[in-house]
A and B are shown apart, each in its own frame.
Chain A
């Protein structure tokens, strides 16, 4: 980065060009981020207004079972005769909530652990880091399965399990960022003008260390939705008759040859939401990472 900076305009009109605003502008100009955002916005609108947009109630028996897509039922009907389109639209609510809530369950404790470990160093860091290493030794899906097995099936427990399983990854990422940020002269300077440790962590280190964390969390929303749907598919998450995409895919599994749509459309819904989050996450990463700055 050049140390050269433009001289300020003489007048009072100084643009508020905060680093965040610069990144936001670059993000909004990012092609794949735009695609992801459009897709995501569409899903959020569908989820929020599901009762008004969906033609039927999600658990309403509207027709004969296993009807192929038609003008009456765009995506066909499922094995009990429920309208698949309505169920997919309602399913967006569960999946989006699950994605965000699981990420919060992972991000908040993970970032806190990483911040404390990276800042305190020494014995505190050693204890937290070994804990993180131990958790990372398990694939996160196995970790989530263990937690579900302990807590019992259910959608809330899926959120907890998926969240907790991702804690070590947030913690490790945060710790690395904090280690890099805390040796910066401005952190030493903050210390030298009398800030206490909490303020240094919260005010001076965290805002300079959270960029990669935000990107990772965004990508992780898609991942959480995928893992959550996977757990429901296995029967450990949402229980019938909930309109949940993973569960819906599982329900069509036995009749895949005769009624392919029952599993396919919920699967495509999962795919498109996960892709949307990945595109947005990639865009965010490019926007906050100075190395990928477009010419």
Chain B
């Protein structure tokens, strides 16, 4: 099956007073229809910036990619008006904080019907009916009555449901969920994740789930991409990556997650902090924090990942090559 979204060699550089800041370096990834790809990484690793650039939301000239193909068309070539038609209709997005991402002076119904009027040209009445239907799709109790409520009248979980309703209103082919559960209670988190998974199945959407929480993505993702210092350092099917991480950074991340199901030691943190993006170390950016680092790591950047094909499990690490030679 051909990819729904395919990004090749995305580079994002911000002009700062201290010089050009490379936020994303050479990111390539594919998302298949109906697939959930998780992108994990710490703050500043470039995961959100990758998605914003996809939607054309970065300052002009910041993002450059060899190719970004969405649903058969190269969207790097689209003008602003065409991109606008894509956003919300073909690509839905769910934000981290549903309190601040919903307009406080408009009712939930108004914000939802807007989507139908904007993208499908529906009349007021038809848009209203579609909105009520969408609210019930996201499991909002008594959806008709909720249409008239304002965001501040809803609980956090209900707000996130409203947010998801807006995101999937036009039945997009791709849903980007940027830390969709970070602002929510743990019990609500599970409900929201289930909801996204259910809607994905019903609508057959591709989903990109951005998170810093491995526990969140473990249950929902098909594949996982781990980002560090602006690069994808490991990508592969979720089970393969969790069972046998190939990059020491991924192993470190997994070891830092508290587990109740394993009789393991206390979670271990990765020593050190991510490098200053203005002064990244030569070669592998993770080298200063890596227990397995050796002289060769400083010499050249780790090999680039091959993103295409049936889901391979790859890591941008010198150890991978050595492993292959050994076996």
Contacts from A to B (Cβ < 8 Å): 3, 5-8, 12, 14, 16-20, 184-186, 188-196, 199, 203-204, 207-208
Q: Given A14-B145, A194-B84, is A185 in contact with B95 using a C-beta cutoff of 8 Å?
A: yes
Please measure, in the bound complex, the distance between the C-alpha atom of A6 and the C-alpha atom of B55, giving whole angstroms. 35
Contacts from B to A (Cβ < 8 Å): 55, 57, 84-89, 92-93, 95, 97, 99-107, 114-115, 118-119, 142, 144-146, 148-150, 152-156, 158, 166-167
Contact check: which of A16, A186, A188 meets B104 at CB < 8 Å?
A186
Chain A residues near B158 (CB-CB < 8 A): 8
Nearest-neighbour CB distance to chain A for B95, whole angstroms, equals 6
Chain A residues near B86 (CB-CB < 8 A): 194
Contact A17 B150 (CB under 8 A): yes
Chain A residue at minimal CB-CB distance from B146: A14
Q: How many residue pairs between the two chains, A and B, have CB atoms under 8 Å in the bound complex?
A: 87
Please measure, in the bound complex, the distance between the C-alpha atom of A3 and the C-alpha atom of B104, giving whole angstroms. 13
Q: Given A17-B153, A194-B87, A196-B84, is A186 in contact with B103 using a C-beta cutoff of 8 Å?
A: yes
Chain B residues near A12 (CB-CB < 8 A): 142, 144-145
Chain B residues near A204 (CB-CB < 8 A): 103, 106
10 A-B pairs within 8 Å (CB atoms) are namely A8-B149, A12-B144, A16-B148, A189-B93, A190-B103, A193-B118, A194-B86, A195-B88, A196-B84, A207-B106
Contact A193 B104 (CB under 8 A): no
Chain B residues near A185 (CB-CB < 8 A): 95, 97, 100-101
Contact B101 A195 (CB under 8 A): no
Nearest-neighbour CB distance to chain A for B188, whole angstroms, equals 13
Contact check: which of B97, B118, B148 meets A14 at CB < 8 Å?
B148
Chain B residues near A19 (CB-CB < 8 A): 104-105, 150
Please measure, in the bound complex, the distance between the C-alpha atom of A189 and the C-alpha atom of B22, giving whole angstroms. 25
Contact B104 A189 (CB under 8 A): no
Chain B residues near A199 (CB-CB < 8 A): 118
Nearest-neighbour CB distance to chain A for B183, whole angstroms, equals 9
Contact check: which of B87, B154, B155 meets A192 at CB < 8 Å?
B87
Nearest-neighbour CB distance to chain B for A151, whole angstroms, equals 39
Chain A residues near B156 (CB-CB < 8 A): 3
Contact B154 A208 (CB under 8 A): no
Contact B153 A8 (CB under 8 A): yes
Chain B residue at minimal CB-CB distance from A15: B153
Contact A5 B89 (CB under 8 A): no
Contact B95 A189 (CB under 8 A): yes
Contact check: which of B88, B92, B107, B154 meets A8 at CB < 8 Å?
B154
Give 5 A-B pairs besides A186-B103, A207-B103 with Cβ atoms closer than 8 angstroms. Answer: A14-B145, A186-B102, A188-B57, A190-B103, A194-B118
Nearest-neighbour CB distance to chain A for B126, whole angstroms, equals 18
Contact A193 B100 (CB under 8 A): no
Please measure, in the bound complex, the distance between the C-alpha atom of A188 and the C-alpha atom of B57, giving whole angstroms. 9
Please measure, in the bound complex, the distance between the C-alpha atom of A119 and the C-alpha atom of B102, giving whole angstroms. 19
Contact B97 A5 (CB under 8 A): no
Chain B residues near A16 (CB-CB < 8 A): 148
Please measure, in the bound complex, the distance between the C-alpha atom of A188 and the C-alpha atom of B146, giving whole angstroms. 24
Please measure, in the bound complex, the distance between the C-alpha atom of A20 and the C-alpha atom of B153, giving whole angstroms. 14
Contact check: which of B85, B95, B107 meets A194 at CB < 8 Å?
B85
Please measure, in the bound complex, the distance between the C-alpha atom of A8 and the C-alpha atom of B97, giving whole angstroms. 20
Q: Given A5-B155, A185-B97, A191-B57, is A14 in contact with B105 using a C-beta cutoff of 8 Å?
A: no
Contact check: which of A6, A186, A191, A194 meets B100 at CB < 8 Å?
A186
Nearest-neighbour CB distance to chain A for B176, whole angstroms, equals 9
Chain B residue at minimal CB-CB distance from A194: B88
